Amino acid sequence: MRMKRTAYPYILWIGIFIVIPLFLILYFAFTAGNSQDFSSFEISLSNFRRFFTPIYLKVLGRSVNLAFISTIICLALGYPMAYIISKERHKKRNIMILMFVIPMWMNFLLRTYAWLTLLGRNGFINFIITKIGLKPLDLIFNDKAVLLGMVYNFLPFMVLPIYSILVKIDKNLIEAAEDLGANRFEIFTKVIFPLSIPGVITGITMVFIPAMSTFIISSLLGGNKYNLIGNLIEQQFRWTGDWHFGSSMSIILMVFILITMAITSKFDKEKEGGGGGLW
């Protein structure tokens, strides 16, 4: 198919802001030398050799693990939510979705900071707990707090795509299923859920990717005690100044995300006959 003329600005945009930076990262990843001096670069795999040692692999493992758990929680919470909202009447539905979106108008960093005061030792939640005579809980600076931060911040990215697919399902299909004698459970498992899979796939991708690469949440709510891969990358760029190692970790992160997306899109293709979802 011939590209339309109107597509040129977008191609220019993609070229400048996506393709060129990606190649720069690739170039940095496979070279070594003083990051600020191009003439000192030489082709090298040393960054990757350094990464594939137990210490960094452990961090990668922890990141994958936390991102995976938070994606599962988001799906478990988000799907029923999206389903319930989509069943509401038009007006109520829009208000409910608006409620989901309004917090996102505030800066992500501020919302995460807010959790610091909620979860802190003398924070709001512990204040309530001690008021009713219970012992204060250790809520912050652990993996649970990081998970909470991820789920809280990324849940809308799960709910919105699933919701927008669910509201578009043709009511006639459900009626037809009823006519053919399906009960409500069968309607859900055989009609609604299979049709909503593209939304689920998009939701999973949109939660998993930011959860995998976050460094702010683990830094603020995890108290920097549990490095994630995002923290290691940030450290290389901001403090150590080794852009080569930082870039190669970014490449490894990207490869991981691509693999997960490839796996999830497989499910998608079976239903859609290819070309659906993000891929």
Partner 1 sequence: MKKIKSIVLFVLVAVIASMLAGCGESKPSINVFNWGDYIDEGVLKEFEKEYGVKVNYSMYATNEDLYVKLKQGGESFDVIFPSDYMIERMVREGMLAKLDKDNIPNLKNIDKSFFGLDYDPDDEYSVPYMWGTVGIIYNKTMVDDVVDSWDILWEEKYKDQIIMLNSQRDTIAVALLKLGYSMNTRNIDELEEAKAELIKQRPLVWAYQGDEVKDTMVGGEAAFAVVWSGDAVAMIRDNPDLEYVIPKEGTNLWFDDMVIPANAKNKEDAEKFIDFMCRPDIAAKNADYIGYSTPIPEAIDLLPEDMKNSKVAYPSEKEIENTEIFRDPMDIVVEYDRIWTEVLSGE
Least CB distance to partner 1 at residue 18 (A)? 17
The SS3 assignment for 53 reads: coil
Least CB distance to partner 1 at residue 141 (A)? 5
Least CB distance to partner 1 at residue 225 (A)? 6
Q: What is the DSSP letter of 42?
A: E
Single out the residue of 111, 100, 105, 110 nearest to residue 155, CA to CA.
100
211 with 257: CB under 8 angstroms? no
Least CB distance to partner 1 at residue 137 (A)? 12
Looking at the Cβ atoms of 141 and 154, the one nearer to partner 1 is 141
257 with 212: CB under 8 angstroms? yes
226 with 66: CB under 8 angstroms? no
- What is the contact surface with partner 1 in residues (CB under 8 A)? 5, 8-9, 12, 36, 55-56, 58-59, 116-117, 120-122, 138, 140-141, 219-220, 223-227, 231-232, 235-242
Looking at the Cβ atoms of 89 and 238, the one nearer to partner 1 is 238
The SS3 assignment for 73 reads: helix
List C-alpha distances in Å: 33 to 12, 20, 231, 234, 268: 31, 21, 22, 19, 43
Looking at the Cβ atoms of 30 and 115, the one nearer to partner 1 is 115
Amino acid type, 39? S
Least CB distance to partner 1 at residue 214 (A)? 16
Least CB distance to partner 1 at residue 121 (A)? 4
Residue-wise DSSP of 188-227: IIIIIHHHHHHHHHHHHHHHHHHHHH--HHHHHTSTTSS-
Helices (H), 88-170: 90-101, 108-119, 124-131, 143-166
Looking at the Cβ atoms of 120 and 276, the one nearer to partner 1 is 120
Least CB distance to partner 1 at residue 216 (A)? 12
Helices (H), 30-89: 46-51, 54-87
Looking at the Cβ atoms of 9 and 275, the one nearer to partner 1 is 9
The SS3 assignment for 157 reads: helix
Looking at the Cβ atoms of 140 and 261, the one nearer to partner 1 is 140
Looking at the Cβ atoms of 26 and 116, the one nearer to partner 1 is 116
Looking at the Cβ atoms of 223 and 276, the one nearer to partner 1 is 223
∠ CA(74), CA(274), CA(195), 5° rounding? 50
Least CB distance to partner 1 at residue 241 (A)? 6
